[in-house]
Structure 1
């Protein structure tokens, strides 16, 4: 985990011999004409033209810093779910380890909190300081996420500051997708692609399921933790940045390793990772309230 702060041209030559008319000698009988020898003319087939339909490249969304937030030690983002409404209390997404280093098996729900978040607009200018009412959900078990409920609504934030929340998608990302890691703390947008979806990611005493591995272009640093990972084909959040292998060590703090289904370990020095977030929306119901017993909710429970 991060320490805080792409003819042949065929010429057919037809050689035609020019025949000189035969002139009969005086008094001579005309020669019996021999029937012309039939010649087989083979017609050269025209090449068959096939219509090739080019698959259109997906139109990529313009990604900005609007909706990102700055924590005291990490990055984060103002988020909503596909089913959220404007009058719901707003939520901020970050990492579990940005609240504290939670032991495996620990899950925090609905704990009072008054943590401040500096809200940024598209240019990275701070436009407001938002306050948390509670830590609605936080864990470092299987995933590394924290969701704070704020003391204000999406409608109030939009009306006062002109900033909309990012939508947390309820389907997973795909390998090869174009993504942006949007760091509020560093006011940077890092563009790359989803390089892979490791079976397990292990770092120290933590093991995470359903991570996202970035291509090398996303060179994150400390303080980027908690940044939203935005799918540029939709503009939706599909993961939250949480770690990277800093010096090539294997499965140690700040040096996560990948573990496949057979238990084989792969170390990728300098490569960075995020936790997928598509399972979260099913665990929040009407009014953006956490309900870990809701149908389809598979987040770790206390």
Structure 2
């Protein structure tokens, strides 16, 4: 029955934006247990997780209770050197006992009174004072966590992820992790120091602020900050490890270290960032204004303004942070030193008279976007409609022009796409290009319209990702004037193969590639349109039809015996069973001694070719 459903699904499969994300390993929902009751769902600046922390030696019963979470759970607009101290909060709430089997009336909801300390300068931590005492929370049956002084190899994260999680599963869950080292990071405008890297599962929206816990000692050593889930290095959702010649994206999640913070609690149980030995910054850093944006296409002066007296230095990111920069003498006025005209990242470091240091990071990027423009150009109600898909920072803006005789190589006449679909009538030529955040451009592309059938994009029929053809696989083309079109593949020997068409629209055709097509260069003819392509032995793709279990359906894998499966970060055996034309049943075979529960990411790899990734739930 499911097989027939997928065939029908393919016949009706037309383009919609699809998102698929996943992280290594697995997590499981927790049933009510006092040992886990100190973790709460936090609502201050969005949905986050927090944990009730006591100093290792305990605290008086009348001491206020403190909740540790991520800095961006207090504010998502932190400056790169900003520190917040003792600010009242009027609408924040922390909900404890957030288990899947706990009735809502048994949860413990406590107001968040104020933020004691928060920053995203080198760290990403916020410490909140709750509107309850230590004794009040204990009387509610809650159990606090404590801070550790070192990191173990085996870790646990407990949090409440919500993004991409079904509503019925948005409760406290736990995942085991491996500690993978300490790294310095850059993510968007922020620089993070000595963050813990780990392979914790199901780190997504809502997980921010989750406690990262030593499995053996049960002590908190990190506060969950970020994970790798995007495709633009060093941008939001794709932190870069820095310190080598070039920044590098390493898969996994990262947490801000909090070991050694026990000394920030006084004997009275109160959290005081100015306690002797407390490593937290409390001084006011200088404000840098007028400096260049985050990325620039070539070197230029810093043109930075700093109020008052200061001293400064600059350093390339591969050479270290501001403590390694050679600082000049005390001065006032503008900073006009040149940023080198060499690709790479550079820090401007400014020290105020109180010793606090502000840092501004700029990256010189001369490389064109590595992603091709993403767009649809479809026939809708007697007009062609142009839409673009953005992927900052690689595809941050688009420009286009159209008309009879439009010259795509001529710079004149291009318009900036304002995120409003563009309707185009008549006949002519569409020209477009994309730009990254620094302003580097993709090569211009040109497409004729209103002059018969055209093919703009060829994709795998399951994933709808740009691809080539493979014998016995489903494929999809996007273009114009395609309704009712037939499909023919002319292989490199000139032999014509008629493809079975499953469904057509004016802008899309789904079809099956005959198994007899020979490998090599080929021409695909769809109606009156044609495009040169290639036939390869495989084109792995997975259908987004089954969100549970390790049995899935895909296409483009039946003639390769070397296909590998991945369940999270675990490589597993794969069983590919050909079904009807183009359709394959894919079984991911876990070792007998591996038991996974929760949400995991699945994908297939054949040589250098990877399928799309999909997230499923294992019970």
1:34 aligns to what? none
The answer on 1:267 being equivalent to 2:249 is: yes
Kept in 1, the 8 Å contact 2:60–2:269? The answer is no
1:79 aligns to what? 53
Write the distance in 2 (CA, Å) between the matches of 1:128 and 1:150: 12
The partner residue of 1:197 within 182, 187, 190 is 182
Write the distance in 2 (CA, Å) between the matches of 1:263 and 1:107: 30
Residue 163 of structure 1: how far off its partner (Å): 1.1
SS of structure 1 residue aligned to 2:250: coil
- 1:1-302 equivalences in 2 (<5 Å): 65-72=36-43, 73-87=47-61, 88-101=63-76, 102-114=78-90, 115-120=92-97, 125=102, 127-159=107-139, 161-169=140-148, 171-174=149-152, 177-185=153-161, 186=170, 187-198=172-183, 200-215=184-199, 217-260=200-243, 262=244, 264-269=246-251, 271-301=252-282, 302=284
Kept in 2, the 8 Å contact 1:244–1:256? The answer is yes
1:257-285 deviation line (CA, Å, top 9, x unaligned): 1113x55422124x111111114322232
After TM superposition, the score normalised by the length of structure 2 is 0.36
After TM superposition, the score normalised by the length of structure 1 is 0.71
Alignment CA distance shift 1:227-1:63 (3 Å): farther
Runs of 4+ in structure 1 deviating by more than 6 angstroms, as ranges, are 121-124
Residue 296 of structure 1: how far off its partner (Å): 1.3
Higher RCO (C-alpha under 8 Å, 6+ residues apart): 1
1:220-261 deviation line (CA, Å, top 9, x unaligned): 11110010111110111110111011124211111101113x
Kept in 1, the 8 Å contact 2:230–2:236? The answer is no
Q: Tell which structure's C-alpha radius of gyration is larger.
A: 1
Write the distance in 1 (CA, Å) between the matches of 2:267 and 2:224: 27
SS of structure 1 residue aligned to 2:137: helix
Write the distance in 2 (CA, Å) between the matches of 1:288 and 1:143: 23
Write the distance in 1 (CA, Å) between the matches of 2:226 and 2:278: 25
Residue 181 of structure 1: how far off its partner (Å): 0.9
Write the distance in 1 (CA, Å) between the matches of 2:75 and 2:147: 23
Write the distance in 2 (CA, Å) between the matches of 1:124 and 1:211: 34
Alignment CA distance shift 1:106-1:263 (3 Å): farther
Write the distance in 1 (CA, Å) between the matches of 2:217 and 2:66: 20
SS of structure 2 residue aligned to 1:287: coil
Q: Which moved more, 1:74-83 or 1:226-235?
A: 74-83
Write the distance in 2 (CA, Å) between the matches of 1:282 and 1:120: 28
Aligned residue pairs: how many? 233
1:29-56 deviation line (CA, Å, top 9, x unaligned): xxxxxxxxxxxxxxxxxxxxxxxxxxxx
Write the distance in 1 (CA, Å) between the matches of 2:101 and 2:189: 35
Residue 66 of structure 1: how far off its partner (Å): 1.8
